[in-house]
Amino acid sequence: MTNIIDTIISVWITHQITLRTIQHLYMFSIALIISILIGVTLAILVYSNPKLANVWFNVLNVIETIPELALFIFLLPILGLGEKPTIAACVLYSILPIMRNSYTGLAYVSNEYVEIAKAIGLTKNEILLKIRLPMALPLISSGIRVAVVYIMGIVTLGGLIAAGGLGVPLQAGIYRYDIPAIIIGALWVGTLGVIFDFIAWIIENRLARRFNPW
Amino acid sequence: MGSSGSGKTTTLRLINRLIDPDEGTVYLNGNDTKTMDPVKLRRKIGYVIQQIGLFPHMTVKENIGLIPNLEKWKEEDISNRIDELLTLVALPPDLFRSRYPNQLSGGQQQRIGLARALVMDPPLLLMDEPFGALDPLLRMQLQNEFLSIKRKLDKTIVFVTHDIEESFILADRIGVMHGGKMLQIGTPSELLFEPANDIVSKIIGAENKFKAIKFLLAKDVMIPLKNCVIESDISCKEAISKMISDKIESYIIKKSNSDISQISLIDLLNEKDQEKSILGLGTRVNVVAPSDTLSSIISLLKLSNDSMAVVIDHGKVLGVVRINSVLMNLV
């Protein structure tokens, strides 16, 4: 038992896992915030111009099918190596789930509520802001939850292109066949993923109860 | 009033421009609604629907205050207005202000719906079967509350229902719709006793008119009196000559607001002392208010073994209810 704890501590120190975790979460948060902003904004734009909906979703679907590594390579000439292309890749992947869910949430608010909102004198924009957007929050947040898992994975992969983060100890472990580093790194990334997914789940649940209680 | 598919809801939606008419014009206080901004128009028209209609993500306060907020009212004015309205619909503001719609019963939700419709103090209120989804007991209670609110508010209300009883209880005038056409507009008794055609009489259930004794009011069935009331202190002789010149056989004598007597020409002629004031003569008759129902009048007359009651409103004699002629009309 003391052996295991000793190993964990030594791996933690040699691979600077505290620092790597901070880098990891830094990229994670930036990518998540940008994805939410872009995803929700696009959803609102597409909702207001439904003719564009198909175009947008097709473009994003195509991006979604590109393997992460290939995407890194596409981004290399534009953004180089490191944090920037990693964050960009995270954002490109996460826009689709967030946008798709937000769009569905906005477009499929029960007609009854839209009708009564119109009948008591709300304009189209007021209906969007005061009725559709809040009532879509549970769906938007479940889209964000999907994005959380995506981003966790892609940030880890960013270790490959010198972005830092928890991908680095994993990579190092693989090259040196350092099994404790691989196991501890993987478990730690997995735990973080589970924790964030859990937090997102709690938020999603709360929103669902608050904004869509029927 | 009309069966489903008769165009009731469509009519409401035409009024607040949720639908624009293919032809014809909707006038509101003499103005063509087509010339008004639909959003501004709708904010001046209260709207209550059968389904819940409250926004589930907003508290009672936010639901009622939605339009005042958009209209940039002061926060304090909004709060005051909300408390005032909650009190009007019999919900204590402190208990209900911050609840969500799913924490309210069906009846409470419907009251909040009414409060929201009234928040801008609109001159016109549209109500689309607001009590349709409630159980019969609650429905009756809300109908009664609505009646008293209606009296307090003094607004024009267009109320849609498919329930004849409801329309008889709540309405001053009822428009009967069928197949997209307005067949007749009239008071409950006009519709019962003079239906425009067979369809109206079928919808109203005119062959079962006696059921209407619960809804018909004294003012609907009374025979109006114009010059048959004597309030002043005149002698028998004068009264007789007045009766003969007015060609009437009987006088209602009003001694005080509640002390009403009747005297006939024969009684007056039989009176020995012709100089005597008529205020001391006559037989006392039953007095009812214009809003008393026919059934309560019938019970009263049965108790006093009489056949006639005088309808009095704030001390003014309006007319008489002769039970025989009323019953003849009902069958």
Domain membership flag for residue B24: yes
Q: With an 8 Å Cβ cutoff, are A122 and B70 in contact?
A: yes
pLDDT at residue number B52: 63
Q: Which positions in chain B touch A116 (Cβ < 8 Å)?
A: 47, 49, 53
Rg (CA), chain A: 21
Are B153 and B264 found together in one domain? no
| A52, A138, B274 from A196: Cα distances, Å | 33, 17, 105
Alpha carbons B187 and B168: distance in angstroms, whole number: 9
Let me know: does B47 contact A119? Beta carbons within 8 Å: yes
- Does the domain at A10-211 match CATH 1.10.3720.10? Answer given as yes
At B281, list the tokens.
Answer: 């003569």
Question: Would you tell me which residues 20-59 of chain A have a C-beta closer than 8 angstroms to some C-beta of chain B?
Answer: none
* Residue A101 scores a pLDDT above 80: yes
Q: Which of B39, B182, B328, B202 is nearest to A122 (CA)?
A: B39
- Domains in chain B, number: 2
Distance, first Cα to last Cα, chain B: 23
Place of tokens 């600077």: A16
Are B243 and B144 found together in one domain? no
Domain membership flag for residue B201: no
Let me know: does B259 contact B231? Beta carbons within 8 Å: no
Let me know: does B107 contact B31? Beta carbons within 8 Å: no
Alpha carbons A15 and A9: distance in angstroms, whole number: 10
Alpha carbons A74 and A85: distance in angstroms, whole number: 9
Domain membership flag for residue B193: no
- Quote the domain boundaries for residue B278: 220-330
Q: Which positions in chain A touch B116 (Cβ < 8 Å)?
A: 120
Q: Which of B96, B321, B104 is nearest to B220 (CA)?
A: B321
Place of tokens 């019953």: B327
- Closest residue in chain A to residue B15, using alpha carbons only: A119
* Residue B279 scores a pLDDT above 80: no
- Closest residue in chain B to residue A208, using alpha carbons only: B57
Query: Against a cut of 0.90, is the pTM above it?
Result: no
SS3 A46: helix
Instruction: Single out the residue in B110, B140, B171 at which a domain terminates.
Output: B171
A7-42: per-residue pLDDT in tens? 888 888 888 888 899 999 999 999 999 999 999 999
SS3 A125: helix
Let me know: does B24 contact B226? Beta carbons within 8 Å: no
Residues 6 or more apart whose CB falls under 8 angstroms from that of B202 comprise none
DSSP class of residue A127 equals I
Q: How many CB atoms lie within 10 A of CB A206?
A: 13
pLDDT at residue number A161: 85
Q: Tell me if chain B has a CB within 8 Å of the CB of A135.
A: yes
Are B54 and B151 found together in one domain? yes
Segments making up each domain of chain A, as ranges: 10-211
Alpha carbons B283 and B273: distance in angstroms, whole number: 17
pLDDT at residue number B175: 93
Q: Which positions in chain B touch A113 (Cβ < 8 Å)?
A: 55
The 3-state secondary structure of B136-185, one letter per residue: HHHHHHHHHHHHHHHHHHCCEEEEECCCHHHHHHHCCCEEEEECCEEEEE
Q: Are strands B156-160 and B124-128 parallel, antiparallel or unpaired?
A: parallel
Domain membership flag for residue B289: yes
Domain membership flag for residue B77: yes
B250-276: per-residue pLDDT in tens? 777 777 777 788 887 777 777 777 777
* Residue B205 scores a pLDDT above 60: yes
* Residue A214 scores a pLDDT above 60: no
CATH code of residue B70: 3.40.50.300
B69-92: per-residue pLDDT in tens? 999 999 999 999 999 999 988 889
B142-186: per-residue pLDDT in tens? 888 888 888 888 889 999 998 888 888 888 899 999 988 899 999
* Residue B209 scores a pLDDT above 90: no
Alpha carbons A169 and B236: distance in angstroms, whole number: 121
Q: With an 8 Å Cβ cutoff, are A212 and B49 in contact?
A: no
Q: Are strands B156-160 and B174-178 parallel, antiparallel or unpaired?
A: unpaired
Are B242 and B139 found together in one domain? no
The 3-state secondary structure of chain B, one letter per residue: CECCCCCHHHHHHHHCCCCCCCCCCCEECCEEHHHCCHHHHHHCEEEEECCCCCCCCCCHHHHHHHHHHHCCCCHHHHHHHHHHHHHHCCCCHHHHCCCCHHHCCHHHHHHHHHHHHHCCCCCEEEEECCCCCCCHHHHHHHHHHHHHHHHHHCCEEEEECCCHHHHHHHCCCEEEEECCEEEEEECHHHHHHCCCCHHHHHHHCHHHHHHHHHCCEHHHHCEECCCCEECCCCEHHHHHHHHHHHCCCEEEEECCCCCEEEEEHHHHHHCCCCCCEHHHCCEECEEECCCCEHHHHHHHHHHHCCCEEEEEECCEEEEEEEHHHHHHHHC
Q: Residue type for A214, please? A: W
CATH code of residue B231: 3.10.580.10
Are B19 and B86 found together in one domain? yes
Distance from CA of A204 to the nearest CA of B (A): 14
- Closest residue in chain A to residue B116, using alpha carbons only: A120
Q: Which of A109, A113, A90, A115 is nearest to A167 (CA)?
A: A90
Let me know: does A132 contact A93? Beta carbons within 8 Å: no
Are B165 and B225 found together in one domain? no
Are B158 and B239 found together in one domain? no
**Arithmetic mean of pLDDT over chain B:** 85
What burial class does residue B319 get, using C-beta atoms within 10 Å of its C-beta: 0-12 exposed, 13-18 middle, 19+ buried?
buried
